Structure 1
Amino acid sequence: MKVVWQLLPALVLAGCAATPAPVVAPPPPAPPPPGLQRLIGQDAAAVTRLLGPASLDRTEGPARQLQFVRPVCVLDVYLYPATPGGVPHVRTAAARKPDGSRIDPGACLSLIVPGR
């Protein structure tokens, strides 16, 4: 019986041995949200060419936020570098109406630049 008690910790640990998880390739990048194809992947210069001067241009760490306040909606565009020290490119956007209620960023973009 003494031998069983001596082997018990080893048997418990053997049952906890981790099996390696299968290597899974990362999913492909998601397509841009509807209406934002003109923005996603663009640098700040391309965004300002499309939308005009930003009402707010803010940098925090590697991220950059450009805010475009227009009568129909407010569009916040967020740029991040793909690699540390790289040029920031648009990764996402958020929008709201002047009263603060939500609006789809792609819809806001189309309201700001409908004919471009």
Structure 2
Amino acid sequence: MRRIIIIAALLLAACTPDNVPPPATTTPAPVTPSTHVLTDVLGFTSGELIRRFGSPALQVREGTGLKMQWRGVACVLDAYLYPSTGNAERVTHVDTRLRSGAEASQAACIAALEAR
């Protein structure tokens, strides 16, 4: 019985190729944030936003800040403006979402609102 086990082990070892490379491990590429939003909306004043997207559907004063909202067929954009150097209110944060409330690409939402 011992011989059979040894022979089986040797046969199994012989069936395994020696030159098989180990399985490749893939590292996902790092996700880079969209620069469309960073260069095109952050830092804008309320006047610049209005010139770009038209009149906001909602404008709410929140403490020292201002929230402006645009609604399109594809998405909703919220821009948050706070006082900066020179006391001018500028966009410091942007949120975008689908009309259903699900997350939306900021770059795609901005492009859709610009196209209106």
CA radius of gyration, larger in: 2
Name the counterpart of 2:94: 93
- Contact 1:35–1:110 (Cα < 8 Å) also in 2: no
Q: Find the aligned partners of 1:33 and 1:43 in 2 and give their Cα distance.
A: 21
- Residues 43-93 of structure 1: CA deviation (Å, up to 9, x unaligned): 00000000000000001111100000111100001111125x811101110
Number of the residue aligned with 1:5: none
* Regions of 4+ moved over 3 Å: none
Instruction: Give the helix-richer structure, 1 or 2.
Output: 2
Residue of structure 2 equivalent to 1:71: 73
Alignment of 1:36-115 (within 5 A): 36=37, 37-83=39-85, 86-114=87-115
Shift of 1:106: 2.2
Normalised by the length of structure 1, the TM-score is 0.65
Gaps of 5+ in 1: 1-31
Q: Is the 8 A contact 2:77 2:95 kept in 1?
A: yes
User: Any stretches of 5+ residues in structure 2 without a counterpart?
Assistant: 1-32
